[in-house]
Amino acid sequence: MNRDHDQHAMSDRDVPQGLVATMNPEFKKGSKVTLKTDHMSGMMNAKGTVAGVYTTNVYTVTYHPTNGGKVVRNHKWVIQQELQTHNKGLLKTGTKVKLNASHMPGMMGAEATIDSAKQTNIYMVNYTDTKTGKVIKNHKWVTEDELISR
């Protein structure tokens, strides 16, 4: 986890245009899950519920926030539909892109570099922060391998 970027994602219900729900995911919408990732402080072992699940290309990226913050390295996750690109295929590591995502302050319009790429199911989740007790709604994004059933 990038501790310089240790703030909760801005959450909204908006799903990027062109994103289609997965038909048979491991965790269906409404499934109760435990998060097994630490993208943000308070996520590891947090109890949550699946708010949506989609199949798409997903990326970790390094970017310079447009609000002047420190460089964010290996941010998980940005999806294909949140990139300003005409390429619909899986982008290669090292590809330069512009972000069209607002789930973190300073992301929208930021220049970024693809650190890793894969096609997988990606989840939007509601969860209770293990440190603050705050309910985080519509967190974007976690992958299937970052969730377990509860």
Q: Tell me what pLDDT residue 13 has.
A: 60
Q: Tell me what pLDDT residue 12 has.
A: 55
Q: Tell me what pLDDT residue 103 has.
A: 82
Q: Tell me what pLDDT residue 1 has.
A: 42
Which is nearest to 1 in space by CA: 150, 148, 146? 146
Residues of the chain with pLDDT under 50: 1-10
Contact status, residue 69 vs residue 34, Cβ threshold 8 Å:
no
- Residue-range domains of the chain with CATH: 3-149 (2.30.30.1210)
d(CA 41, CA 132): 9
Contacts of 138 (CB under 8 A, 6+ apart): 11, 12, 13, 51, 52, 124, 125, 126
Q: Tell me what pLDDT residue 92 has.
A: 96
Q: Tell me what pLDDT residue 2 has.
A: 42
Q: Tell me what pLDDT residue 6 has.
A: 44
- CA distances (Å), origin 39, targets 92, 95, 142: 22, 22, 9
pTM: 0.87
Q: Which pairing describes strands 47-63 and 111-128: parallel, antiparallel, or unpaired? A: antiparallel
Residue 6: alpha-carbon gap to chain centroid = 14
